[in-house]
Structure 1
Amino acid sequence: MRILTATILAGTVALSASAFAKDNPMVGGAAMYADKTIVENAVNSADHTTLVAAVQAAGLVETLSGPGPFTVFAPTNDAFAALPAGTVETLLKPENKEQLTKILTCHVVAAEAMSEAIGKMIADDNGTHPVDTVGGCVLQAKMDGDKITLTDETGGVASVTIADVDQSNGVIHVIDKVLLPAS
C-alpha cells in the first residue's frame, strides 16, 4: 500500500510540474514554470539573454528573485538590438550601472498585473492608464486592438507580444521594445 501511495504521489507531483508549464506560454523556446521565480524562468529563454545579462550587470538578480509580487515587461534580444549601435555594450559597463538600473527598473511594477486587469484599468481610464514603475518612470498603457501597448517617457511604444507568463513572484509580459526613462 505504501509503495502504491508513493507511486501515485510521485505521479501527481510530476503531473503538477508539467501542468505548471502547460498553463504558461512558451517563451524563447523554453517552458515557463509558475512555481519558479522571474529570474529562474528568464534564464531559460533564448529570447532574453541580453535582458538576463543586463539584470546581472545591474545587480538586480536578488531583487527579482525575491517574493515580489512584480510585473516585468521583458524586452527581447531583438528589442535591445534595435537600440543605437553600442548602447547595450555601453550600458553593461560597471561605470554605467546606475543608468542601466534605472532603465531596467522602468520595466518593473511592484504588483502582479495580468493582462485582463491591465485591460480593465485601461478601459476604466478611458483608453489610457498610467503605470508607475519601480524605477520612477510612468508608462502609458493603451490597447491596440487586442494587444496592450506601453508608451515610455520618450514617446517610444512597446507592444506586449506574449502576455501573462505566470511566475511564483509575479508575472512577465514579453515586449518588443526597450522602454526608456525621460532622462
Structure 2
Amino acid sequence: MADLVETAASVGSFKTLLTVVEAAGLLDALKSPGSLALFAPTDEAFAKIPATTIASWMEDIPKLKKIVAYHVVPGDVRSDDLLQIDEAPTLEGSIIAIDNSDGVKVNDAKVLQQDILADNGVIHVIDTVLMPALVAGH
C-alpha cells in the first residue's frame, strides 16, 4: 500500500488538497509512520471557495497550516469509530464535531466515502472544506 499522500494522489480528486498540504509544509506529516485519519475535501469542495480566498491562504502559511491540520485526526479512526464518537481532536489543536444521525457529517461537511486505507492511516472523503474557529472569523 501507499501512504496518505500517495493514496490521495492516486484517487485523483484531491489535486487542490495536495497543493495546499504541500504549501503548508505538511507533506511529511502525512507521509510519516503512525496512524492518522485525513478528512479530505474533494476538488469540488475547494471549488466552493473563491479562488482569491485560497490564494490569500497560500500567502499566509501559518493560517494555511492550521486549516490543513484541522482536517487531520491522530489515530486510526475508521467508519465504525465515527459511529461511536461525537467529536475528535485534530492536529490543529481544536475539536471537530462528528454527527452520524443522517449519514456521517464532520462539522458541516458530509462524508462522501469512508475508509480509503493507506499504510499510515485512513482517508474519509468530505464535500466541504473544514474551517477551524480560530481561522473562520479572519
TM-score (norm 1): 0.70
In the TM superposition, residue 46 of structure 1 has moved relative to its aligned partner by 2.4
1:118-137 aligned within 5 A: 118-121=82-85, 129-137=86-94
Structure-2 separation of matches of 1:76 and 1:171? 15
The answer to whether structure 1 residue 170 and structure 2 residue 121 are counterparts is yes
Q: Superposition pairs for residues 139-154 of structure 1, below 5 Å?
A: 139-145=96-102, 147-151=103-107
The 8 Å contact of residues 69 and 90 in structure 2, kept in 1 or not, is answered as: yes
Cα deviations across residues 49-85 of structure 1 (Å, max 9, x unaligned)?
0000001101111111001200000001111111234
Q: C-alpha distance in 2, partners of 1:180/1:62?
A: 22
Question: Residue in 2 aligned with 1:104?
Answer: 68
Q: How far did residue 106 of structure 1 move?
A: 0.3
Alpha-carbon distance, 1:42 to partner: 1.3
| SS of residue in 1 equivalent to 2:13 | helix
Deviation, structure 1 residue 90? 1.6
Q: What is the SS of the residue equivalent to 2:82? A: helix
- Following superposition, the deviation at residue 162 of structure 1 comes to 0.7
How far off its partner does 1:148 sit? 0.8
SS of 1:180 mapped into structure 2: coil
- 1:55 alignment partner, one of 21, 28, 36: 21
Aligned length: 134
- Aligned partner of 1:70 in structure 2 is 36
The unaligned stretches of length 5 or more in structure 2 are none
- Cross-structure match for 2:49: 83
Q: Which structure has the bigger radius of gyration?
A: 1
- Return the alpha-carbon distance in structure 1 between the equivalents of residues 63 and 33 of structure 2: 25
Show structure 1 runs of 4+ deviating over 4 A. none
Deviation of residue 105 (structure 1)? Answer: 0.4
1:82-107 deviation line (CA, Å, top 9, x unaligned): 123411122123xx110000000000
- Work out the CA distance in 2 between the residues paired with 1:172 and 1:85: 25
Residue 100 of structure 1 aligns to a residue in which SS?
helix
Structure 2 length as normaliser, TM-score? 0.92
Aligned-CA RMSD value: 1.1
